[in-house]
Structures are given as structure tokens and as C-alpha cells.
Amino acid sequence: MRSNGFGFIAPLLVLMVVAFNLPILYMLGLAFWSKEQGFTLENYEGLVEAPVYLRVLGNTMRIALIATLANVIIGYPLAHWMRGLQNRARLIAIALVVLPFWISILVRTYAWIVVLGNGGLVNRALQWLGLTDAPVSFLYNELGVTIGMANVLLPFLVLPLFAAMIRIDDRLLQAAASLGARPSTIFWKVYFPLTLPALAAGTLLVFILCLGFYVTPAVLGGGRVPMISNLLDTLINQIPRWEQASAISTILLIVTLLIFAAYRYLDRRASA
Amino acid sequence: MIGSSAWTRRALAAAGILGLVFLTVPLLIVIPMSFSSAKALTFPPPSLSLRWYETFFGDPRWMDAMWTSTVVAALSSMAALLLGGLAAYGLRRGTFRGRDWAEGNFMGPLIVPTIIVAIALYLGLARIGLLGSFAGLVVAHTLLNVPLVMMVLGVAIREFDIRIEQVAWSLGASWWHTVRRVMLPNLAPSVFAAWIFAFIGSFDEVIVTSFIAGKYDTVPKKMFNELILEVNPTITAVATLLIAFTVVALAAVALILGRAGKLKQTIV
């Protein structure tokens, strides 16, 4: 009698339980447990009382929303344009989207320091055009962080959106045209609704990634634009407040998993 | 859209090209800047030189970091490939209960924000006294690489005709023998792609490494720490080398998958 194949996953299962599940459970334990009184919510009471936590949470939400919106505004036309390209041009465009996706986030973030710095390409161009006399500061503020995050996450939106767009049957659009629909009507009544599930799924994915983003705000924000992850870094590595860090991590984890469940639902619909 | 005016089509092309420029130009700017002779990051570079590459290759701390990165990436990518590959096979072909649950758990490191994985590992490793150990670092990189390997190999195994395996079984081959002699030779291109992806993933990892590596410096960790303190043009040379490494690795993947006719299913 043949085995049921469980043996194939057993080694990985052991590794994941020991090195992934148990540490996360331990973190949850630290967030909700204290030696003296057992189960406790005091770590969460501390969070609500300190205005600094609420401010960081507000920052994170605002930057994540703006970066996600920028992604949609740049990514949707890009994916739509790629759909209409001929074979060779389309292949080049795909390569130009896939390549940055695989290049280290740290390198892509660093590239923006080079581009946006006082002597960088953008400031040089602005001064040459006479639009400004003194360099504009893009770095070490919210603007720089938002630009960097929008850039780093763009492939996560464009690739699934493009994949959904090329699955749309051209005959649907031709049918609409032959019935006399104007191009804008075809776009808004036929094409756009068909891309909506993929757009929504991609948007949620980008938003989740924004919420937990660490490298880009740390580098482009220069410590002046704290987001949740950077706050967590401080609570672990600088002023050790492990319980507080665990409490915040737990909230971030739950929010992420809830949004991810919504993403999965939409993604299934998008690829159905 | 069908029947769109020339104006609309031109506006769309402009928006698309601007999007691609936004995505790629920063990377293209870094490359010439790394050959600049100036200490300040001025574009365009005043004159060309290799001084930042000399600084990089002449600095024993960078070379140590390079060595650590390479060893960690080699060990963790092989471990992820072996464990993830076996598990991907078990999940596709097995009949045991809880397969969906197991797969969801294996994909966990991709879904859970990396900062949370970093904190959980930090706390867990500190608890058992392995914080800052080399073994802890390799295990952490392995579990971060598992989802990538499972995605690439999961697709490849699903596309592989199960009847070929059934023939092997009917001829008396064991499961293990079938995997080794029938599946692996057929899936070699995907296995190679998964290995490269895992290697890149580990070589570029910065968040978890910064939290748990202790005295060990990898290239991205050292780069990140230096960036937080001050912007130093050596970083530009490091960034260019990392870009070159990724381009070469991806070209190798594209070449091998392209030859096997599997490029499209893996990237889109």
C-alpha cells in the first residue's frame, strides 16, 4: 500500500513549526501575558495612552494610502498600455517591470537618494529649467518616503493587473463596438469592470506591504518619518520594551491577515 | 480601446512610458554614478573613476560581508530547495488531510510582514540563546526562501503529467525513486530557477538579518547600516554590483526556462 505522501512535507513542517510558528506564538504570549497576573491587556492600555503610538499609526496609514493610490494612478495606465503592445515591445516592457521586482529593495531605495538628493538628477533638472533657485528637499521627509514606497511596490500591482488584462477576450470589446458603443463607453462599461477584481486585489496587496514597510522609511525618512516598523525597531533594538513591541506586532499581524483574507477572496475571483 | 482617437492612444502611450521611466530610471542613474570620481553624489558625475570599486574590494569588512552573504545564501537556498521541493511534491501528489492548511503555513513568511517575522525570530532566538548565531541566521533565511521555492516548483509539478509517474510506479518504482529518476530530470529547469530565486532572495535579505545576525555582517546589512549613518559613494558601487548580479542571475533563469519553453508560466 502506497503512503499518503505526508513524509514529503514532514521535514519542512518540523522546521516551520519550530522556527516560524513557535516564535510567533511566543510573541503573542509576550503581548498578552505577564508573570504576575497571567492574561493581561496592560500592554494595550499603554498603547492607547501614549500619543506617540497613535501619531505613528496615523503616519503609517496616511503614507500607505497615498503610496497605494499613487501605485494605482501610475500602474493602471502602464498595465493597460502594455496590453496593447505588439509582441516584442510587450516582452521588453514586461522585462522592465520584472527586473526591478527582483532587484533588492535596499538598492532601489538607495537609488532614490541618488536621484532626489540636493545634487541629484531631479534637483539639477529643476534648477536648469529655472523652476527653483535652491534645491528642493525631497529626502528625509514624507514626500521622499512616499515616492520611494510607490516605486518599490509598483511591480506588485502592475504584474497581476497586466496578467488579468491580457486574459480579457478582445471579442467582448469588438462586440461592444459593433453594437455602437463609443470607446469611452467600452472602457468604462466593459473593460474596466472586468479588471476591477484584479485591481482591487493588487491594491490590497500593495496596501498590506506598505503597512509593514521597514527599509524605505528608515532610509528615505532618515528617522524623521517613523512608520510602524521603525517604531518596532526602536522598541526592540534601542529601548528594549519587548512586551510593547509584541503588542504592536500582534495588532499589525491581525490587520494584515484580515486584509490578506480579503485579498485572497478577490484574487480567486480575479483569476476565475 | 477599439476606435479610440489618436490623441487618446498617444496619451496612454505617454502615461505607460512615464510609468516605465519611473520604475527603471533610478536604477539606470545608479550605474554611471558608481563610476564617479566625486565624493558628493552629483549628477552627472564630474569625471569617471573606479575609486569606489577599489574602496569596496580593498576593504576587508566589505569582503567579510561578501563571504558571509555568499555562504548564508548558498546554505539557505539549498536547504529551502530541498525541504521546499519535497514539500511541494507532497502537497501536489499526497492524499493526507490538511494539505491546504500546511500550504498556507508554508507560504506564511511571504504573507506575514517581514518586520514581524524579524521580531518573532529575535524574541524566540533570544529565548533559546541563539540570537546572533550563524545557525539561527541560516535557518531564518531558509524559512524566508521556502515560499518562493514552493511557488515555482508547485506550478512545475502541477503541470507535470501524473501519468508519467504512474507508469514508473506501475513498473515497481518507489515514490523516492520516481522523484529522483523521473521527476527531477524533467523538472531540472524549474528546480534551477527556484534555486536562483532563493539565492537572490537570501542574498538581498536585510530586515531579518539586521535583527538577528548579531556580529555577522551581510552585504545588505552593512549597506543598510552605513546608509542610516551617512551616504557614502562606496554604497553606489555596491548597489551597482548587486544590480549586475541580479541581471546576470535572471538572464540565466530566462535562458534556461526559455530553452525548456517554460518562461511564460513562471514569470506571469
Q: Which DSSP helix (H) or strand (E) runs through A34? A: strand A33-34
Q: Which residue has better confidence, A94 or B183?
A: A94
Q: Which residue has better confidence, B252 or B1?
A: B252
What does the mean pLDDT of chain B come to? 90
Helix (H, G, I), strand (E, B) or coil at A200: helix
pLDDT recorded at residue A64 = 95
Q: List, as ranges, residues 35-54 from A with C-beta within 8 Å of B.
A: none
pLDDT recorded at residue A4 = 81
Is residue A33 pLDDT above 50, yes or no? yes
Strand-pairing partners, residue B48, are: B36
Nearest Cβ partner for A114 among B30, B83, B87: B30
Estimate the crossing angle of helix B219-229 against helix B234-259, to 10 degrees.
140
| HSE-CB for B160 with a 13 A CA cutoff | 25
Residues A202 and B225: their CA atoms lie apart, in Å, by 32
Is residue A34 pLDDT above 80, yes or no? no
DSSP notation for A50-63: -HHHHHHHHHHHHH
From chain B, pick out residues whose CB is under 8 angstroms from the CB of A77.
12, 15-16, 19
pLDDT recorded at residue B266 = 57
| HSE-CB for B252 with a 13 A CA cutoff | 14
> What are the domain boundaries of chain A?
43-271
pLDDT recorded at residue A220 = 92
Sign of CA dihedral B224, A254, B135, B240: negative
Stretch A63-72: mean pLDDT: 96
Contact (CB<8Å) B106/A218: no
pLDDT interval class at A136 (50, 70, 90)? confident
Contact (CB<8Å) A5/B175: yes
ipTM of the shown complex? 0.89
pLDDT tens, residue by residue, A191-249: 999 999 999 999 999 999 999 999 999 999 888 888 999 999 999 988 888 888 999 99
Asked if B241 and A110 touch (Cβ cutoff 8 Å), the reply is: no
Residues B201 and B109: their CA atoms lie apart, in Å, by 12
pLDDT > 90: what percent of chain A?
A: 60
CA nearest B237: which of B57, B12, B24? B57
Asked if A165 and A271 touch (Cβ cutoff 8 Å), the reply is: no
Q: Which DSSP helix (H) or strand (E) runs through A38? A: strand A38-39
Q: So what's the architecture of A43-271 in CATH?
A: Orthogonal Bundle (1.10)
Interface membership of A80 toward B (CB under 8 Å): yes
Cell of B42: 552629483
* Cα R_g (chain A), whole angstroms: 23
Interface membership of B212 toward A (CB under 8 Å): no
Cell of B132: 546572533
Is residue B268 pLDDT above 50, yes or no? no
**Domains present along chain B, CATH in parentheses:** 59-267 (1.10.3720.10)
Q: Which residue has better confidence, A6 or B267?
A: A6
CA nearest B146: which of B185, B112, B120, B188? B112
pLDDT recorded at residue B264 = 61
pLDDT recorded at residue B72 = 97
| HSE-CB for A70 with a 13 A CA cutoff | 21
Alpha helices (H) in chain B, listed in sequence order: 6-33, 51-58, 60-93, 99-106, 108-111, 114-127, 134-159, 162-170, 175-178, 184-204, 207-212, 219-229, 234-259, 263-267
